[in-house]
Amino acid sequence: MASDRTRRRTWTVGACVTALLVVFYLSGGVVSGLRSSANFVTAPFSWTVNEIARPIGHMFAGAVNYSDVVNQNQKLRYELGKAQLKANEESALNRQLTEMSTQLRVPFVGSLSLVSAQVTGLSPTNFAATVSIDRGRDSGVLTGMPVVANGGLVGSVISTTPHGATVRLISDVNSLIGVTFGNGKNQLVISGQGVNNGLGASSVALTTAIQPGTVLSTSGLNGALFPPGMPVAKVAKVSLTPGAATYDLSLEPTADLRNIVYLDVVLWEPST
């Protein structure tokens, strides 16, 4: 009896082992079977991890992409800034060239030699009016030389250094200029009235025929401070005091003294 039970148990175990081997064989072997079982067990966890990791991955990818966008933005702004700076520099250069060509149109100097200069400083007060320029003795600029700009006479050099000079404007109260008008036989002396007051002439004889709009130019007489023919001022107003034997003139400079950027020093000395 015991022997029969043992034989049946052995047979049953053997049948089960055989059945398992067949199953494993049909499912791709023991390793594949184990892998399938493991996948079956871990599949829900893998799905959960994938669903959580996917947004995180997108977040990191977005952060990297955003950083790239920021860097590209900065590069574009830098390039745009360079282009704008270049455009501004070109615009400023063109404006300077235009101002220079306008202010240095001085056909009235004839064949006299010129030294072009740029204004580097202004020193106007209610009475005195001077400017500093960037040309001096090393460029041939000497004390007493006339200074002109577009429109006419601006002033004269009153001091120099090797690389600079100071110019007294014709509106300075210490400025006196001999001028003429009409046929050249009428002579006047005009003077500066201060920065905001232009020029003037007083004690003009009633027999002198002059009216608003008349242009006065340097006379160039012997010993004059300026060569002849340089426009200086235009008559703005003729004032006659009742009972007086003379009248006064209010004059406007022909050169724009309020917007001087470039000047020409005329290489001419009063003694010549």
Domain residue ranges of the chain, discontinuous segments joined by +: 1-103, 112-272
Quick one: pLDDT at residue 58?
Answer: 54
Quick one: pLDDT at residue 200?
Answer: 92
Angle formed at CA 265 by CA 259 and CA 267, multiple of 5 degrees: 165
Query: Model pTM greater than 0.95?
Result: no
Q: CA-to-CA distance for 257 and 149, rounded, in angstroms?
A: 9
Three-state secondary structure call for residue 229: coil
Q: Is the pLDDT of residue 73 over 60?
A: yes
Three-state secondary structure call for residue 175: coil
Where is pLDDT greater, at 57 or 31?
57
Q: How long is the chain?
A: 272
Quick one: pLDDT at residue 196?
Answer: 76
Where is pLDDT greater, at 82 or 163?
163
Nearest alpha carbon to residue 156 among 173, 168, 172, 174:
168
CATH of domain 112-272: 2.40.10.340
Quick one: pLDDT at residue 192?
Answer: 92
Nearest alpha carbon to residue 188 among 167, 209, 173, 212:
209
Check if the beta carbon of residue 178 is closer than 8 Å to that of residue 187: yes
pLDDT averaged over every residue in the chain = 77
Quick one: pLDDT at residue 169?
Answer: 94
Q: CA-to-CA distance for 37 and 30, rounded, in angstroms?
A: 10
Nearest alpha carbon to residue 197 among 169, 155, 163, 177:
169
| Range among 46-60, 68-82, 135-149, 176-190 with highest mean pLDDT value | 135-149
DSSP letter assigned to residue 197: T
Strands 215-218 and 186-192 come out as unpaired
**Identity of the amino acid at 186:** N
In this structure, of 6-20, 74-88, 144-158, 250-264, the range with the lowest mean pLDDT score is 6-20
Section 234-263 average pLDDT: 88
Per-residue pLDDT tens digits for 118-153: 999 988 666 678 999 999 999 999 999 999 998 999
Quick one: pLDDT at residue 232?
Answer: 95
In this structure, of 13-27, 102-116, 241-255, the range with the lowest mean pLDDT score is 13-27
DSSP string, 76-132: HHHHHHHHHHHHHHHHHHHHHHHHHHHHT--GGGTT--EEEEEEEEEEE-SS-EEEE
Cβ-based neighbours of 202, under 8 Å, separated by 6 or more: 246, 248, 249
Alpha helix positions (H), the chain: 2-26, 29-103
Section 227-251 average pLDDT: 89
Cβ-based neighbours of 220, under 8 Å, separated by 6 or more: 226, 227, 228, 229
Q: Which band of pLDDT confidence, cut at 50, 70 and 90, is reported for residue 9?
A: low
Section 224-252 average pLDDT: 89
